[in-house]
C-alpha cells in the first residue's frame, strides 16, 4: 500500500511517499526558515505564499525520488488540523485535487497525532496504551494513545507552547530563530543550576502546562525588575547566556519530564513516546529516557528529521486509517 503524504501546517512544505506505514521511499521537506527568521517568528502571509510557490515541486520531487509513478499511489493523505489556516488550506487543496484526478481515497490526519506516529515508523515494537507528549512550536500536548489511530487528549498548555518558550527566550538572549536548537547547544557549556527559574506545575495532579511565567522570569533576570523596554537588555557575556539558557532549559525539561512520568504512572502506560520539534532537545531526551528507564517503561522518540514537521509521519499514520476505512470526502475542511 503506497500512500502520498502532504504537510503544510506551518512553515515547512513537505511531501512523502511511504509504503505500508513505515517504509519511507521519500520525505521531501522545503523549510521556510530563512524567510521567517528575520521577523523572529512565522509570518502567516509569507508562509502561505511560500507553500503555494513550492508545493507542486515538492510533490513532484517526492514522487520521483520514490521512483514511482503517480498511478502507483493508493491514497493521498494530508494533515488538515491544527495549524495556520491559510497554510493548511494550501496542502488540503493540493491533496483534494490529486485525490480527485487520480480517483484515490483522501485521508485526513491530525498533525499532532502524526508527530506521535513518527516514532512508530522507526520502532515497530511500541506497546499501547502509551503516554505521548507532543512538544512543538505551536503545541505542548499529552495524549493517552490507545492505538495508532486512537489518541485521547489528557493535557495541554494553557498559554505558550514549549517550543514557543524556547524561541521567545532565544529572542531575549539575542539568539537566532528558531532558537530551540541553539539553546540546546549553548546549554552544553552552561550551568543548569546557575539560576533557579520557576517550574510551573499548576494544580496538584494537573496534566496541563504553563510556560509563559518562565519566559517572563528570564526577561526579569536579564533586565532586573524594569522589563518595560525589553529591547534594551544589558549586554550579557557568553558564559552568562550559556548559564541562563541551561537553567531555563532545565526548568522546562523538568516540568515536561515530571508530568509525562506522572501521566505514565496514572494510566499504567506500557510506553512513553515524544514527538514534535522540541523532542529533538538532547536534555529532554536524556532526562525522560533516564526517568522512564528507572520505572521500566520503554521510551521512544523519532530521529531528528522525523521530529520536525514532515510528511512521512502523515503518510505513515494514514496507512492505519486506510486499514480502518477512515476516508474523507472532498468537502472536508481545514481546522486551525
Ligand atoms: O514540530 P516543529 O518542527 O513545528 C511545529 O509544529 O511547531 O517544531 C518547531 C519548534 C521550534 O519552536 C524550535 O525552536 C523547536 O521546535 N526545537 C527545539 C529543538 N529543535 C527544534 N527546541 C529545543 N531544543 C531543540 N533541539
Ligand atoms: Zn509540528
- Residue 120 binned pLDDT confidence (cut-offs 50, 70, 90): very high
| CB distance 284 to 274 below 8 Å | yes
Q: Where are the alpha helices (DSSP H) in 67-110?
A: 85-102
In the chain, the percentage of residues whose pLDDT exceeds 90 is: 93
Q: What is the pLDDT of residue 153?
A: 98
3-state class (DSSP) for residue 19: strand
| CB distance 233 to 172 below 8 Å | yes
Give yes or no for residue 83 CB within 6 A of ligand 1: no
Give yes or no for residue 32 CB within 6 A of ligand 1: no
For 125-140, what is the mean pLDDT?
Answer: 96
C-alpha 275 – ligand 1 centre gap (Å): 10
- Residue 233 binned pLDDT confidence (cut-offs 50, 70, 90): confident
Q: What is the pLDDT of residue 235?
A: 85
**Buried/exposed 142-181: b ≥16 CB within 10 Å, e otherwise:** bbbbeebbebeebbbbeebbbbbbbbbbbbbbebebbbbb
Beta bridge partners of 153: 143
C-alpha 163 – ligand 1 centre gap (Å): 5
HEC secondary structure over 106-124: EEEEEHHHHHHHHHHHHCC
CATH class entry, domain 127-297: alpha beta
Q: Which atom from ligand 1 is nearest to the alpha carbon of 138?
A: 7
How far apart are the C-alpha atoms of 325 and 312, rounded to whole Å? 20
Nearest Cα residue to 286 out of 189, 184, 186? 184
Give yes or no for residue 180 CB within 6 A of ligand 1: yes
C-alpha 267 – ligand 2 centre gap (Å): 25
C-alpha 292 – ligand 2 centre gap (Å): 24
What separation, in Å, do the N-terminal and C-terminal C-alpha atoms of the chain show? 29
* Protein residue with its CA nearest to atom 8 in ligand 1: 277
How far apart are the C-alpha atoms of 212 and 324, rounded to whole Å? 40
For 272-297, what is the mean pLDDT?
Answer: 98
- Residue 242 binned pLDDT confidence (cut-offs 50, 70, 90): very high
- Residue 161 binned pLDDT confidence (cut-offs 50, 70, 90): very high
- The residues spanned by each domain of the chain are 2-116+307-323, 127-297
C-alpha 282 – ligand 2 centre gap (Å): 18
Question: Is pLDDT at 138 greater than 80 in this prediction?
Answer: yes
For 171-188, what is the mean pLDDT?
Answer: 95
* Protein residue with its CA nearest to atom 2 in ligand 1: 277
- Residue 228 binned pLDDT confidence (cut-offs 50, 70, 90): low
Question: Is pLDDT at 230 greater than 60 in this prediction?
Answer: no
Grid cell in block for residue 79:
494533515
Q: What is the pLDDT of residue 225?
A: 66
In the chain, the percentage of residues whose pLDDT exceeds 70 is: 98
Tell me the C-alpha to C-alpha distance, in Å, between residue 234 and each of 87, 203, 239: 38, 35, 14
* Protein residue with its CA nearest to atom 10 in ligand 1: 137
For 246-267, what is the mean pLDDT?
Answer: 98
How far apart are the C-alpha atoms of 42 and 324, rounded to whole Å? 36
Question: Is pLDDT at 22 greater than 90 in this prediction?
Answer: yes
pLDDT in tens, 46-83: 999 999 999 999 999 999 999 999 999 999 999 999 99
Q: What is the pLDDT of residue 40?
A: 84
For 176-185, what is the mean pLDDT?
Answer: 95
Question: Is pLDDT at 226 greater than 80 in this prediction?
Answer: no
Q: What is the pLDDT of residue 38?
A: 86
Give yes or no for residue 137 CB within 6 A of ligand 1: yes
Q: Which atom from ligand 1 is nearest to the alpha carbon of 83?
A: 6
Q: What homologous superfamily is domain 2-116+307-323 in, according to CATH?
A: ATPase, nucleotide binding domain (3.30.420.40)
Question: Is pLDDT at 234 greater than 80 in this prediction?
Answer: no
The binding site for Fe cation comprises 111, 115, 309
Contacts of 173 (CB under 8 A, 6+ apart): 179, 183, 218, 222, 236, 241, 244, 245
C-alpha 128 – ligand 1 centre gap (Å): 26
For 195-206, what is the mean pLDDT?
Answer: 96
From the CA of 12, the nearest ligand is 1
Contacts of 91 (CB under 8 A, 6+ apart): 6, 7, 8, 9, 13, 51, 55, 78, 79, 80
How far apart are the C-alpha atoms of 75 and 171, rounded to whole Å? 42
Q: Cα angle vertex 30, ends 3, 7, to 5°?
A: 40
The binding site for substrate comprises 134-138, 167, 180, 184, 281
DSSP symbol at 178:
S
Question: Is pLDDT at 214 greater than 80 in this prediction?
Answer: yes
Do the domains spanning 2-116+307-323 and 127-297 agree at the CATH topology level? yes
Kindly report the average pLDDT of the chain as a whole number: 96
| CB distance 2 to 68 below 8 Å | yes
Amino acid at each position: 500500500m503506497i500512500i502520498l503524504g502532504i504537510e503544510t501546517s506551518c512553515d515547512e512544505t513537505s511531501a512523502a511517499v511511504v509504503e505500508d506505514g513505515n517504509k519511507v521511499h521519500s520525505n521531501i521537506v522545503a523549510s521556510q526558515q530563512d524567510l521567517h527568521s528575520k521577523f523572529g517568528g512565522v509570518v502567516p502571509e509569507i508562509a502561505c505564499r511560500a507553500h503555494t510557490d513550492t508545493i507542486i515541486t515538492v510533490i513532484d520531487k517526492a514522487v520521483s525520488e520514490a521512483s514511482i509513478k503517480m498511478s502507483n499511489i493508493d491514497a493521498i493523505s494530508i494533515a488538515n488540523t491544527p495549524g495556520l489556516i491559510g497554510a493548511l488550506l494550501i496542502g488540503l487543496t493540493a491533496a483534494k485535487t490529486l485525490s480527485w484526478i487520480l480517483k484515490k481515497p483522501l485521508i485526513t490526519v491530525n498533525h499532532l497525532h502524526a508527530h506521535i506516529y513518527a516514532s512508530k515508523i522507526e520502532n515497530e515494537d511500541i506497546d499501547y496504551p502509551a503516554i505521548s507528549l507532543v512538544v512543538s512550536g505551536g503545541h505542548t500536548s499529552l495524549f493517552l494513545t490507545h492505538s495508532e489511530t486512537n489518541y485521547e487528549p489528557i493535557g495541554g498548555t494553557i498559554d505558550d507552547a514549549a517550543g514557543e518558550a524556547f524561541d521567545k527566550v532565544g529572542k531575549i538572549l539575542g539568539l537566532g530563530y528558531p532558537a530551540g536548537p541553539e539553546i540546546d547547544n549553548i546549554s552544553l557549556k552552561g550551568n543548569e543550576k546557575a539560576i533557579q527559574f520557576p517550574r510551573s506545575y499548576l494544580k496538584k495532579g494537573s496534566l496541563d502546562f504553563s510556560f509563559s511565567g518562565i519566559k517572563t522570569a528570564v526577561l526579569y533576570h536579564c533586565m532586573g525588575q524594569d522589563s518595560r523596554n525589553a529591547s534594551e537588555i544589558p549586554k550579557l557575556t557568553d558564559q552568562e547566556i550559556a548559564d541562563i539558557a541551561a537553567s531555563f532549559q532545565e526548568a522546562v525539561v523538568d516540568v515536561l519530564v515530571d508530568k509525562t512520568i506522572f501521566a505514565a504512572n496514572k494510566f499504567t502506560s506500557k510506553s512513553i513516546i515524544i514527538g514534535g520539534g522540541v523532542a529533538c532537545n538532547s536534555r529532554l531526551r536524556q532526562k525522560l529516557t533516564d526517568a522512564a528507564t528507572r520505572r521500566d517503561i520503554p521510551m521512544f522518540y523519532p530521529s531528528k528529521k522525523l521530529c520536525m514537521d514532515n510528511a512521512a509521519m502523515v503518510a505513515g499514520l494514514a496507512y492505519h486509517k486506510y486499514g480502518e476505512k477512515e476516508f474523507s470526502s472532498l468537502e472536508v475542511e481545514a481546522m486551525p
